[in-house]
């Protein structure tokens, strides 16, 4: 029996090695295109659920003031090593959504940003509508007036058909993984059991993590964003600039802060 760990603990050390950082890279390219089309030039950004820091580092290289927040100490440890190696400045915050609070330097009032991002279906990890609502409100509080919130989320179709009752596997020289998922229709949730093998000399270490995501109807997400003080300016089929088809798997949301919320 493989030892089971909390999500984003043991997998942190192999996240980039198994190519998961490529998603963030792609999202940054896509975000920069969105910003260009909107003629929006941020000078500061907060990357929520920043994981191993790939997006935050890219933003920092542009000269922006960047913070990265994540609830996994293991992911942040990898991020911290990469930031040091890249010689960029990114402030890492170890906090868990939906409640988060970043104080201004000196401690008076909240730190605010021009841009807040959350990539790679990270917000699907919030399993209750109330949590998503609290998270959106906290994003609002950390945005400057007219600031943008850009994030991607999996749809129910993705959890049902892409994750579904499927098994994905890859084997490399020193790492192998098997990902098996189960979809629960009524809850619109899916569990992904990630079994990983990492070579340690002549032996292979085996561990597993279970990751659970929930999908929300568009109407719910729009309502929550609206009541959290946002105007949804674009809803795209992720990585494109077209309106999503009915059965789209991943949507990119571009929302602007239009009023303060308490």
Looking at beta carbons only, is 42 or 71 nearer to ligand SAM?
71
| Share in percent of the chain as helix, strand, coil (round to 5) | 30, 35, 35
Binds ligand SAM by CB under 6 A, chosen from 75, 143, 215, 254: 75
Cβ contacts of 84 within 8 Å, gap of 6 or more: none
90 binds ligand SAM (CB under 6 A): no
Looking at beta carbons only, is 170 or 199 nearer to ligand SAM?
170
Looking at beta carbons only, is 73 or 220 nearer to ligand SAM?
73
5 binds ligand SAM (CB under 6 A): no
Q: Going residue by residue from 29 to 58, which x/- string records binding to ligand SAM, judged by CB under 6 A?
A: --------------------xxx--x----
Q: How far apart are CA 72 and CA 25, in angstroms?
A: 20
User: Beta partners for 93?
Assistant: 69
Looking at beta carbons only, is 51 or 147 nearer to ligand SAM?
51
Q: Going residue by residue from 173 to 192, which x/- string records binding to ligand SAM, judged by CB under 6 A?
A: --------------------
Q: Going residue by residue from 130 to 169, which x/- string records binding to ligand SAM, judged by CB under 6 A?
A: ----------------------------------------
97 binds ligand SAM (CB under 6 A): yes
Shortest distance in whole angstroms from residue 64 CB to ligand SAM: 17
Terminal alpha carbon distance of the chain: 48
Binds ligand SAM by CB under 6 A, chosen from 5, 18, 23, 164: 23
- Alpha-helical (H) ranges within the chain are 12-15, 21-37, 54-61, 73-86, 129-141, 156-157, 218-227
125 binds ligand SAM (CB under 6 A): yes
Kind of pairing between the strands at 65-70 and 90-94:
parallel
Q: How far apart are CA 80 and CA 100, in angstroms?
A: 20
Q: How many residues bind ligand SAM (CB under 6 A)?
A: 19
24 binds ligand SAM (CB under 6 A): yes
- Residue 87 gets the label, from left (phi > 0), alpha (psi -120 to 50) or beta, of left
Contact 214, 126 (CB under 8 A): yes
User: Beta partners for 253?
Assistant: 151, 235
Token pair for 177: 């993984």
Q: How many CB atoms lie within 10 A of CB 167?
A: 10
Looking at beta carbons only, is 49 or 204 nearer to ligand SAM?
49
Contact 39, 104 (CB under 8 A): no
Binds ligand SAM by CB under 6 A, chosen from 30, 59, 64, 119: 119
Looking at beta carbons only, is 18 or 261 nearer to ligand SAM?
18
Residue ranges that bind ligand SAM, judged by CB under 6 A: 8, 20-21, 23-24, 49-51, 54, 70-72, 75, 96-97, 119-120, 122, 125
């Amino acid at each position: 029996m493989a030892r089971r760990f909390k999500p984003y603990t043991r997998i942190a050390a192999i996240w980039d090695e198994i190519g998961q950082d490529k998603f963030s890279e792609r999202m940054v390219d896509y975000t920069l295109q969105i910003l260009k089309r909107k003629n929006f030039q941020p000078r500061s950004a907060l990357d929520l659920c920043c994981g191993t820091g790939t997006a935050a580092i890219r933003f920092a290289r542009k000269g922006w003031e960047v913070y990265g927040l994540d609830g996994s100490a293991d992911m942040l440890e990898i991020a911290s090593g990469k930031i040091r190696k890249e010689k960029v400045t990114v402030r890492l915050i170890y906090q868990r959504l939906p409640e988060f609070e970043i104080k201004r330097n000196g401690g008076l009032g909240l730190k605010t940003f021009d841009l807040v991002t959350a990539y790679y279906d990270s917000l699907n990890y919030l399993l209750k509508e109330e949590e998503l609502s609290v998270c959106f409100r906290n994003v609002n509080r950390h945005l400057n007036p007219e600031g943008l919130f850009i994030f991607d989320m999996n749809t129910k179709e993705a959890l049902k058909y892409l994750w579904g009752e499927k098994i994905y596997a890859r084997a490399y020289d020193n790492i192998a993984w098997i990902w098996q998922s189960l979809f629960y229709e009524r809850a619109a949730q899916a569990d992904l059991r990630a079994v990983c093998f990492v070579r340690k000399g002549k032996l292979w270490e085996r561990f597993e993590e279970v990751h659970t995501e929930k999908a929300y109807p568009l109407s719910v997400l729009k309502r929550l964003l609206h009541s959290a003080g946002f105007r949804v300016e674009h809803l795209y089929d992720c990585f494109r600039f077209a309106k999503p088809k009915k059965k789209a798997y991943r949507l990119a949301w571009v929302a602007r802060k239009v009023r303060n919320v308490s």
